[in-house]
């Protein structure tokens, strides 16, 4: 009986936290968008040789778009801009993985440690997701192109862009692995196993 009860509690906690962080609280999305743009300009503004990358704000954007991504190839020179959403690229995977962690039935001290592990991991993940987007744009044949990847590399890059940036997997599937890395260390598995009557160390049900 403990397993269904814990599963139900986990699901309810997850839904409460996830719905709460998805509610458009006044200023929350704007604050996250500002932080996203600041990080983007800091880490990607001068990352590429012969290129200018700027993350600018869009006010009252359509379909949640709040980022104007200004890209320039200084060799050509050629510049273009495209629009994006900090909510899609950063907020959704952040909120989803955070909700999973807070819903996990662990003591608060262990959840605090999990959050300390989660914080750099989610930054790295969102940063890599954004980097894949930039690689893809700068690899498209034309005056903006910085790279000329081989056909094999192009296919890999297209797959990564689809998986990480375009599809729902980038926001709702891959962040699950971050949750696993943060919450399911051996000591936590042992503790969870005691609560549900399973010995995860041997993968054999424990005796009642």
Phi, then psi, of 133 in degrees rounded to 5:
-60, -45
Q: How far apart are CA 134 and CA 7, in angstroms?
A: 40
Q: What is the pLDDT of residues 98-148, one digit of tens each?
A: 999 999 988 899 999 999 999 999 999 999 999 999 999 999 889 999 999
What are the structure tokens assigned to 204, written together? 């054999």
Cβ atoms within 10 Å, residue 124: 11
User: Under a CB-based contact definition with an 8 Å cutoff, are residues 97 and 87 in contact?
Assistant: no
pTM comes to 0.88
The DSSP output letter for 24 is: -
pLDDT at 189 over 80: no
Confidence (pLDDT) at 26: 62
List the single range of 76-80, 86-90, 195-199 with lowest mean pLDDT: 195-199
Which residue, 106, 130, 133, is CA-closest to 118?
A: 106
Residue 1 has pLDDT above 90, yes or no: no
Per-residue pLDDT, 208: 37
């Amino acid at each position: 009986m403990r397993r269904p009860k814990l599963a139900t509690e986990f699901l309810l906690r997850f839904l409460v936290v996830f719905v709460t962080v998805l509610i458009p609280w006044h200023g929350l999305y704007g604050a996250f968008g500002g932080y996203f743009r600041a990080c983007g300009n800091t880490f990607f503004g001068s990352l590429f040789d012969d290129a200018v990358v700027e993350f600018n704000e869009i006010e009252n954007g359509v379909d949640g778009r709040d980022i104007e991504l200004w890209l320039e190839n200084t060799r050509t020179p050629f510049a273009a801009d495209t629009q994006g959403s900090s909510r899609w690229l950063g907020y959704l995977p952040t909120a989803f993985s955070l909700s999973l962690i807070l819903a996990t039935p662990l003591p608060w001290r262990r959840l605090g440690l999990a959050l300390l592990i989660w914080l750099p991991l989610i930054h790295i993940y969102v940063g890599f997701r954004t980097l894949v987007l930039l690689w893809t744009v700068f690899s498209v044949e034309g005056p903006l192109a910085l790279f000329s990847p081989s056909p094999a590399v192009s296919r890999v890059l297209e797959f990564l862009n689809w998986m990480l940036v375009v599809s729902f997997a980038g926001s709702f599937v891959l962040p699950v692995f971050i949750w696993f890395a943060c919450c399911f260390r051996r000591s936590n598995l042992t503790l969870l196993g005691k609560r549900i009557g399973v010995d995860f160390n041997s993968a054999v049900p424990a005796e009642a």
